[in-house]
């Protein structure tokens, strides 16, 4: 992703996902002269104060992102219970696929996008909103012909990291990781983003409500933002993608 005058649009489920899965890629694209747009499907977790979009904008600015867009949906939660829609909004997982994909497709056309970043078929660790991002991203790419790269991690690397975190007694839900993300053979793109480690770590720290909170990944995020930057870069200095169908458009 090193071509000027091109546009990368990254679709994410929630604020902070843009850093965890694609932060180095976005910073690298912006530094190379690409226009970078982050689209977030939901604005916040269902039980949190409305600060998540402000944190997203702060993190995006650190990464060099030019525009942040919220699709207008509510978070669907990750537990067994899918709660009723909040007043005036629909939970993302309940959104009509074609309607949501059309919203994204309209933005891709407006931005004259060259590349769309989305999620792999497992939605990473399986959050229902992440799976929905995969579905919406695929459909929007079909509608527009934009080149699609789906953010992921090698499953064996995820399991190795989980073993390390468990040995450090880091609170985390470890179940289901053997089916999460993508097998190494499915990965088509591996980006070295270690030189953007400082930006990526600072952007992660900008999501204060999550770093200081009690969410699924909060303990891991606290650990990451407290690491010396070279160690953070060593741990998070690569980002991975699956390209389901080779695109023919301009490359960024």
pLDDT band of residue 215 (cuts 50, 70, 90) is confident
| Encoded tokens for 103 | 């919203």
If you average pLDDT over every residue of the chain, what do you get?
Answer: 88
Residue owning tokens 């009690």? 214
| Encoded tokens for 237 | 């200095």
Full-model pTM:
0.89
pLDDT band of residue 3 (cuts 50, 70, 90) is low
DSSP 8-state symbol, 252: -
pLDDT in tens, 231-245: 999 989 999 999 996
Q: Which has the closest alpha carbon to 9: 188, 75, 29, 246?
A: 29
pLDDT in tens, 89-138: 899 999 999 999 999 999 999 999 999 999 999 988 889 999 999 999 99
Q: Which has the closest alpha carbon to 35: 106, 145, 111?
A: 111
Give the span between the Cα atoms of 8 and 118, in whole angstroms. Answer: 11
pLDDT in tens, 4-32: 669 999 999 999 999 989 999 999 999 99
Give the span between the Cα atoms of 250 and 227, in whole angstroms. Answer: 38
Give the span between the Cα atoms of 139 and 153, in whole angstroms. Answer: 22
Query: Which pLDDT does position 43 carry in this prediction?
Result: 82
Neighbour count for residue 18 (Cβ, 10 Å): 30
Question: Lowest mean pLDDT: which of 27-41, 84-98, 151-165, 219-233?
Answer: 151-165
Report the percentage of the chain scoring pLDDT > 90: 66
CA distances to 125, 182, 237 from 234, in Å: 22, 21, 5
């Amino acid at each position: 992703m090193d071509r000027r005058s091109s546009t990368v649009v990254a679709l994410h489920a929630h604020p902070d996902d843009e850093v965890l899965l694609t932060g180095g890629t976005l910073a690298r694209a912006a530094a190379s002269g690409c226009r970078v747009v982050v689209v977030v499907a939901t604005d916040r977790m269902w039980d949190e104060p409305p600060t998540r979009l402000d944190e997203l904008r702060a993190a995006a600015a650190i990464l060099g992102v030019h525009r942040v867009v919220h699709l207008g949906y509510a978070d669907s939660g990750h537990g067994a219970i899918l709660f009723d829609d909040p007043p005036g909004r629909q939970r993302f997982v309940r959104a009509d696929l074609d309607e949501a994909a059309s919203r994204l497709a309209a933005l891709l056309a407006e931005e004259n996008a060259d590349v769309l970043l989305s999620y792999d078929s497992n939605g990473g660790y399986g959050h229902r909103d992440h799976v929905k991002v995969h579905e919406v991203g695929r459909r929007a790419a079909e509608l527009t012909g934009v080149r699609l790269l789906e953010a992921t991690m090698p499953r064996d690397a995820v399991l190795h990291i989980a073993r390390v975190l468990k040995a450090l007694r880091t609170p985390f839900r470890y179940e289901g990781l053997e089916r999460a993300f993508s097998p190494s053979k499915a990965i088509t793109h591996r980006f070295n983003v270690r030189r953007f480690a400082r930006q990526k770590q600072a952007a992660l720290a900008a999501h204060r409500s999550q770093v200081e909170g009690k969410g699924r990944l909060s303990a891991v995020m606290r650990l990451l933002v407290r690491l010396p930057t070279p160690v953070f870069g060593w741990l998070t200095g690569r980002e991975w993608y699956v390209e389901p169908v080779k695109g023919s458009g301009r490359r960024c």
